[in-house]
Amino acid sequence: MPHFIYALPPPDDPPLARGRAHRGIGVPGSVLLLLAMFLPALRVCNEPFYPLEAPMLLAPYLFGGTALAVFLATAPGTRRVWGILARVLGGLTLAMVGLIAHLVAFEGEPLGVVLAIAWWPAAIAFARTCRGPAPAELRLARAVALPGLGATVWFAVFLADKSVMWGMGVAFLGALLTTAGAVVWELDVRGQLTRDLVDPMPRAIVR
């Protein structure tokens, strides 16, 4: 009986593979970042200050929730929806960091100058995650990594304050792990792309 081989080209936007290493880092980190919204961050007038009391500062914490959904997404449609939300909140997070960095830079602080200079390439790279020649999954990993890095810097600045409380440390750890998970994800995707270049044969079904 003859066998027929049907070559199936890989889809342009395939479902995310399950069980990747980046989820083991990014999921706990994004959970911590989201939960930190309900924890005491600073002590103001001898009273604990919670992030929920300042809605304008919630973008980094809410970004943790969208990052969690992106890490867990496996279907292209779900990934696309949460990816849009992650980019919106990630953009707000980077905007907050950029504003503070430039204000500190205008005051002549060396750290502020360094952060303000470094902010521009990060902002441009983040803008390129919306559209570009790179594969969708690679751009999505960057869309989580760059705001995660911005959130890490944001919380690190507050950790130097004498009035800091333990919730700020939880937020910093969450942002750091979220960023690390996204970086591992990008490296994983790059490795897969390299393997595909080495072995470009399409998948096939033999009948």
- Render pLDDT for 24-55 as a digit per residue (tens, 0 to 9): 899 999 999 999 999 999 998 889 999 999 98
- Render pLDDT for 169-188 as a digit per residue (tens, 0 to 9): 999 999 999 999 999 999 99
Backbone angles phi, psi at 48, to 5 degrees: -65, 135
**pTM (whole model) above 0.85:** no
User: What is the extent of the structural domain holding 74?
Assistant: 23-206
Per-residue b/e over 121-151, b at no fewer than 16 CB within 10 Å? ebbeebeebeeeebbbbbbbbbbbbbbbbbb
- 105 touches 115 (CB < 8 A): yes
In the DSSP assignment, the letter for residue 48 is E
- In terms of Cα–Cα distance, which of 150, 27, 36 is closest to 94? 150
Task: Please return the burial class of 9, using the count of CB atoms within 10 Å of its CB with bins 0-12, 13-18 and 19+.
Answer: exposed
Asked whether residue 97 is domain-assigned, the answer is: yes
- In terms of Cα–Cα distance, which of 106, 133, 101 is closest to 118? 101
- Render pLDDT for 110-147 as a digit per residue (tens, 0 to 9): 878 888 898 899 889 888 887 766 778 888 999 999 99
- 164 touches 42 (CB < 8 A): yes
- CA–chain centroid gap for 7, Å, is 36
Asked whether residue 6 is domain-assigned, the answer is: no
Task: Quote the CA–CA distance of 185 and 135 in Å, as a whole number.
Answer: 13
Asked whether residue 199 is domain-assigned, the answer is: yes
Asked whether residue 103 is domain-assigned, the answer is: yes
Q: In whole angstroms, how far apart are CA 115 and each of 104, 120, 149, 155, 157?
A: 9, 9, 12, 14, 11
Asked whether residue 4 is domain-assigned, the answer is: no
Asked whether residue 9 is domain-assigned, the answer is: no
Asked whether residue 175 is domain-assigned, the answer is: yes
In the DSSP assignment, the letter for residue 123 is H
- Render pLDDT for 51-102 as a digit per residue (tens, 0 to 9): 999 988 899 999 999 999 999 987 777 878 888 889 999 999 999 889 988 9
Question: So what's the pLDDT on residue 111?
Answer: 79
Domain count for the chain: 1
Asked whether residue 11 is domain-assigned, the answer is: no
